[in-house]
Structure 1
Amino acid sequence: MKYLPWIAVCALALAGCTDREAERQAQAAAMAQANEQKAAELEKRYEQAVQSSNWDMARAFGADLLQTYPQSEAAKRVEPGYAQVKAKGDEARNQRRLQALWQYNQIAVKGGTQRSAMIDAKERVDVDGSGAKNVQLVFRDHPQWKRHAYLVLRAGDFKCYSGCKVQVSMDGGKPKAMAAHRPDTDEAIAMFIDDQNALFKLAKQSKATLAIEFPVKAGGTRTAVFETGGLDATQLPGWE
C-alpha cells in the first residue's frame, strides 16, 4: 500500500504529459490548416494574375507562396510552372524599366506641335579627355523643320562638319553604316543622322540596345549605347 501514492503520482504525470502532447498536436494541426488556407489564397491570386497575363504580379505572388509556405499543397501545385511565370515577370519588369528611360515632349509651336522622344546613353562617354559626360539621342518631329534624329554632346565636338558615317548596331548585331552630318552652328553640339526613319525603326525593333559609333574632333571614334527597347512609337505618329 505504501507504493500506491507513487503510482498515482506517476499516473497523473503521464496523463499531464499526454494532455500536453495532445494540445501541442492540436495547435500544430490548427497552424498547418491556417497556413494551407493562406497558401491557397496566394495561389488564387497567383492564378488570377496568370489568367490576366499580369506576369509581374504573378511572379510576386508565386515567390511569396513558395518562400513562405514551401510545404503546402498550393506550393506543390504552383512550383512546376513557376519558372516560366518568373521569366515572364522578370521580362515585364525590365520592359517597364526600359520604357521609363525615355522622355517625351509635346510643345505647341508655329504651325502645330513639336514632338520629341529623348533618351540618355546607358553610360557616359569621354569624347575629349575632360571626363565622361552624358550623350543623348533625340528624335524630333517639327511642323516646319520636319523629322530629325540626332545625337547631343555636353562637351567636345563631333568630327562630321563635312559629313561622315556612323556605325549603328542593334542588340549587339552587325553594325550598319549610316550617313550623318554636323550642322555649322553653335546652338548645340549636335550631329544629325540623315536617315532618321531607318534609325527610328532600329530603335523600335531593338529588344535591348542601340549602339552608335561616331567620330569626334579629339580624334578617333566613340560609342554611345542606348537602351532603346522601351520606345513608345505612338509618341511620334507616322514615323513607322
Structure 2
Amino acid sequence: MSRPRPATAARIALLAAAIAASGAGLVACQDPAVQAEAQAAAQRQASEAAAELAAADFDAAYAAENWPLAAAQGDVLLARYPDTAAAERIRPLHEDARAKGNAVREDARLAALWAYNVEAVKGGSQLSAAIFSKENVDSDGSGAKPVRLIFRDHPDWGRSSYLVMQAGDFDCYDACRVAVTVDDAAPVRMAANRPDTDEAIAMFIDDEKALWRMIDGAKRLAVEYPVKAGGTRTAEFEVGGLDRTQLPAWN
C-alpha cells in the first residue's frame, strides 16, 4: 500500500499538532467535561484538515488517471480518516479507481503471458508469438506438463499455428480434427496434423488464419486434441493479452 509522500505526511503532522495545541490551550482552565469535548472537537478538526491534504494527493492521481496510485492513496485516506468529509467525497471515486486499477493490473498480467521472438533465418526473419497453457496437462501418464501455443511467420514456410507438448504425443499423424472453443462460444471443429518428425512434439492447426481471427478480442482459447495414450486432452490459454502488432503480416 502506498503511503502519503514525505512532504504531505509532514504537513499533516504539523497541521494536526498545531490544531490540537490550539484547542488544548483554549480549554486549559475549563472543567474536565468541557475540556474533553473541546479536545475531541480539536481532534476532529485536525482529522478533517489532514484528510483534505491526503485527498488532494488522491485527486491529483485520479486526474492523471494513475489508477493504481489513486486506489492506494484512497486506501490510506479511508483507513486513517474514515469519518471525514474528504473520505465521504472520494469514496465513490475511490471505488472507480480501484476497479480501473485492477483492470490495469489484469491487462499487464495477461500481456506478460505472451513471449515474442524475432530470429534471423535464411531468407529473412522468423517471427513468433507463444503462450503456455493456463494449467499443465498430463498427456501420457507421466505427470502434468505445460502445453504451448505458437503462431509463427517464417519467410520460407509461411504462417502457421501449432501446439507443442513436452511429453507424450498427439494422435494426429495423418490428420485429425480438434475442438476449438473461444470464450463461451460453441466449439468449432478444425483440421489439424502431426508432422512426421522428431524435432518437436508438435501438432499444427491447419487453418491458422481462422484461428488468429477467432482469438481477436477473446479472453480464453481451449483446444481439445487426441493423444496417443488414448482419449483427448484439453489445453486452455488466456489469450487476451496478445499484442497482434508483433505479427503484422497476420492482421
Q: TM-score range, shorter-chain basis?
A: 0.7 to 0.9
Partner of 1:209: 220
Identity of aligned residues (%): 54
3-state SS of the aligned residue for 1:53? coil
**Does 2:72 correspond to 1:57?**
no
- Give the superposition deviation at 1:118: 1.1
| Matched residues, number | 225
For the Cα contact (< 8 Å) 2:161–2:205, is it kept in 1?
Answer: yes
- CA offset at residue 74 of structure 1? 1.2
The 5 Å alignment of 1:64-103 reads: 64-103=76-115
Asked whether 1:152 is paired with 2:164, we answer: yes
Could you say what the CA RMSD is over the residues aligned between the two structures, in angstroms?
Answer: 2.4
What is the identity, as a one-letter code, of the residue corresponding to 1:149?
Answer: S
**How far 1:146 sits from its partner (Å)?**
1.6
Partner of 1:233: 244
Deviation of 1:192 after TM superposition, in Å, equals 0.7
Distance 1:23 1:239, change over 3 A: farther
Seen in structure 2, the aligned counterparts of structure 1 residues 138 and 41 have a Cα distance that, compared at 3 Å, is farther
Q: Is the 8 A contact 2:130 2:150 kept in 1?
A: yes
Cα 1:59–1:141 change in 2 (3 A) is same
1:198 and 2:210 are equivalent in the alignment? yes
2:147 matched residue in structure 1: 135
Inter-partner Cα distance in structure 1 for 2:137 and 2:82 = 47
Residues 142-168 of structure 1 deviation map (CA, whole Å, 9 limit, x = unaligned): 222221111000000001111111111
- 1:185 and 2:197 aligned: yes
Cα pair distance change 1:145/1:76, threshold 3 Å: same
2-structure distance, mates of 1:133, 1:190:
14
Matched residue, 2:47: 35
Q: Which amino acid aligns with 1:209?
A: R
Contact 2:51 2:77 in 1 (8 A): yes
Q: TM-score, normalised by structure 2?
A: 0.80
Shift in alpha-carbon separation, 1:42–1:110, aligned structure 2, 3 A: farther
3-state SS, counterpart of residue 75 of structure 2:
helix
- How far apart in 1 are the matches of 2:120 and 2:49? 57
Structure 2 distance, partners of 1:36, 1:83, is 21
Query: Which secondary structure does the structure 1 equivalent of 2:74 belong to?
Result: helix
Q: Which residue of 2 aligns with 1:173?
A: 185
Q: CA deviation at 1:34?
A: 4.2
Tell me, in whole angstroms, the C-alpha distance in 1 between the residues paired with 2:144 and 2:132. Answer: 13
Q: 1:144 to 1:40 in 2, by over 3 A?
A: farther
Q: Measure how far apart 1:236 and its partner are.
A: 1.2
Task: Rate the CA distance shift 1:199–1:28 in 2: closer, same or farther, 3 A.
Answer: same
Measure the CA separation in 1 of the matches of 2:168 and 2:140: 5
Write the distance in 2 (CA, Å) between the matches of 1:178 and 1:221: 15
Give the TM-score taking structure 1 as reference length.
Answer: 0.83
C-alpha distance in structure 2 between counterparts of 1:143 and 1:193, whole Å: 19
Q: Which has the larger radius of gyration?
A: 1
Runs of 5+ unmatched residues, structure 2 = 1-26
Pick closer, same or farther for the CA change 1:58–1:115 going to 2, 3 Å.
same
* Structure 2 Cα separation of the partners of residues 16 and 107 of structure 1: 79
C-alpha distance in 1 between matches for 2:213 and 2:205: 13
* 1:66-106 deviations in Å (ceiling 9; x for gaps): 22221121111111343333222222211111111111111
